[in-house]
Amino acid sequence: MLKKVRITSQIVFFAIFSIFFFLFNVLNPEAGSSALAWFLRINPFSVLITSLASRSIFLPYLVVGGVFFILTALFGRFFCGMICPLGSLIDISDKLFRGKERRGGPQRRATERRIEERDGSERRVKERRIEERRGLAKVTQPLRPPIRLQRLKYIFLIALFAMAFLGVTVPLFMDPLCLVPRIFGILFRPAIASIIASFGIGGEKLLAAPIVAKGAYNGAMTVFILFLIVLLGGIFDRRFWCQYICPTGAFLGIFSRFSFFTRKIHNEKCKGCGICTTRNCPTRAIYGETYERTSTAECILCGQCTADRRKCNAFSFSSPLTSVTKAGADVNRRQIITGVLGGLICAPLVTRFSKKMLRKNIPPLRPPGAVEENAFLDRCITCGACISVCPERALHPATLSNDGMVNWNTPKLIPRIGYCAEECTKCSHACPTGALVPIALEEKKKRKIGTAVVDRSLCRPWLEENKCMVCFKKCAYDAIDEAVVELNGKEWKVPEVNKRKCVGCGICEHYCPVKQEAAIQVFSHGEKRIKVYAKKKTKKS
């Protein structure tokens, strides 16, 4: 029964996430973006990380995440087994990589070969298979990584909290609700749109759309490699990412220690076959020979153990103080110290090297509605929601090579690829954490995100090659003037930027006809961010 509930729940929540991500963004931009933001707020782990790093509380985020935190303490890691969209994708990939495990697997085939060599016939092998079906034979453990490696995710969890304490949230790319929107927005959405366009569906309008015409996102290869790592982990073990890496799973597992909803064994039906611990449980939450004991920190309520025909396992409500059949997170003082030291060492190193790697030592162009840079980096969970809703493909993930580790995967505007449309504020409504504050169209004109600069060594009018002035014609804010200057004894029209009017939308750089590097470029100089950190008042002497 629980297995059917889990599968139904996964389908429903995966469909909800897909609808929020794909359909609402097309039908109603602001409502769709807001709906996706609410879905991304259900993870209590990222709630605490962003609140700790930013030293502030974002109330909507806290309320939704707090509800799921309470439900986790009552029912266990139901989020991982029934809601998490990344967990659903992993379950599908595990079926492909480890589908034959339940019918045998390498360990079982080796056992059967030994029986054949000993008895000299296949009769004993057939008898053993019958005994396994009846639950009379011990089932050998399939080849899986050492169970102690499950402690790695707790080390990652503690390191993340230590780094967040120092104001660094970079490694949140491991969080499932930060990773899945990036996978959908940067990989799936362009691929699906390109496939649809290749069949002629949608006509010329879709072919000319930025999602198809402008190719892959900047940094898409990094997201693809990370996605492959998540899925290919199924070669080594089921739910590999969830068992050994996912910090959200570790966080929820710790607070599942005293859950009310737990697994029980019907002793009168249990034959001691060990199928529940060796084959059925994907996260090895059932302890070896002690089949009655369950690790609530590892159990994701998948219902695999209760799907046995003998019905020897069942989930029911019980006292949270019962310690005989429950076990908490397998973490000790050594893992805690390792995580704390790792976080305290990595945080300053990441910050220091990022400043050296930053291209031209200029901060990236941020989307409209961005808060101050320090607060932005503290709040941004690199979910990519703002990137995926941008209609002009102007927003892209920051890369390690150009922007450093601190800015990695945070959104930045690349005008050469796409510009910030005058009538669009979708990105500010998509942010779930307040790194981008929702703004109206009237306010957007006041929120300067950068300033355009003309490079006279590349600009064709300034070089007296031709009367280009494309930037002057395309500017929607009348921020580029058609100045008349004297060059080589004759008057010539050249573009000049009015810094007061320029908002940094990047349309001039996008349409500049100069190949490779544009003759007019937008930098973050003169940006006007939304202030969230109040300055301390100094006492007058």
CA distance linking residue 25 with residue 308, whole number of Å: 43
340 belongs to a structural domain: no
Q: What is the DSSP string of 74-101?
A: HH-SHIIIII-HHHHHHHHHHHHHSTTG
Q: Which long-range contacts (CB under 8 A, 24 or more apart) does 479-484 make?
A: 479/452, 479/503, 480/452, 480/508
The tally of CA atoms less than 13 A away on the side-chain side of residue 372 is: 8
According to the model, what pLDDT value does residue 113 have?
Answer: 52
Looking up residue 484, the CATH number of its domain turns out to be 3.30.70.20
What are the C-alpha distances in Å from 412 to residues 331, 375, 396, 446, 503? 38, 15, 6, 19, 15
Number of domains the chain contains: 1
According to the model, what pLDDT value does residue 537 have?
Answer: 42
CA distance linking residue 482 with residue 472, whole number of Å: 7
According to the model, what pLDDT value does residue 29 have?
Answer: 42
Question: Which domain covers residue 478, as residue numbers?
Answer: 449-530
518 belongs to a structural domain: yes
pLDDT by residue, tens only, the chain of 541 residues: 788 889 999 999 998 888 877 765 544 444 445 667 777 778 888 888 888 888 877 777 778 778 888 888 888 888 998 999 999 999 998 888 776 554 444 444 555 455 455 555 556 556 655 655 555 455 555 577 888 889 999 999 999 999 888 888 876 778 888 888 888 888 888 888 888 877 777 666 677 777 777 878 888 888 899 899 999 888 888 899 999 999 999 999 888 888 888 888 877 777 767 777 767 788 888 876 677 788 888 888 888 888 776 678 888 887 766 555 677 777 888 889 999 999 898 888 877 766 555 555 678 899 998 998 888 888 888 888 888 888 888 999 988 777 878 888 899 999 999 999 988 888 888 888 888 988 888 888 888 999 999 998 899 888 877 888 899 999 989 999 988 888 777 788 889 999 999 999 999 999 999 988 899 999 988 888 888 765 444 444 3
According to the model, what pLDDT value does residue 357 have?
Answer: 57
Give kind and range of the element (H or E) at residue 481: strand 480-487
CA angle in degrees (0–180, nearest 5) for 530-535-537: 150
Q: Kindly state the tokens that stand for 536.
A: 């301390």
According to the model, what pLDDT value does residue 360 have?
Answer: 54
477 belongs to a structural domain: yes
108 belongs to a structural domain: no
483 belongs to a structural domain: yes
Residues 6+ apart with CB under 8 A from 16: 39
429 in Cβ contact with 34 (< 8 Å): yes
- Overall pTM > 0.95: no
According to the model, what pLDDT value does residue 26 have?
Answer: 43
Q: What is the DSSP string of 23-37?
A: IHHHH-HHHHHHHHH
123 belongs to a structural domain: no
128 belongs to a structural domain: no
Q: Where are the alpha helices (DSSP H) in 457-501?
A: 470-474
254 belongs to a structural domain: no
Best CA proximity match to 173, nearest among 221, 222, 233? 222
Q: Kindly state the tokens that stand for 16.
A: 């909800």
Best CA proximity match to 173, nearest among 356, 378, 410, 13? 410
Q: Kindly state the tokens that stand for 105.
A: 């697997």
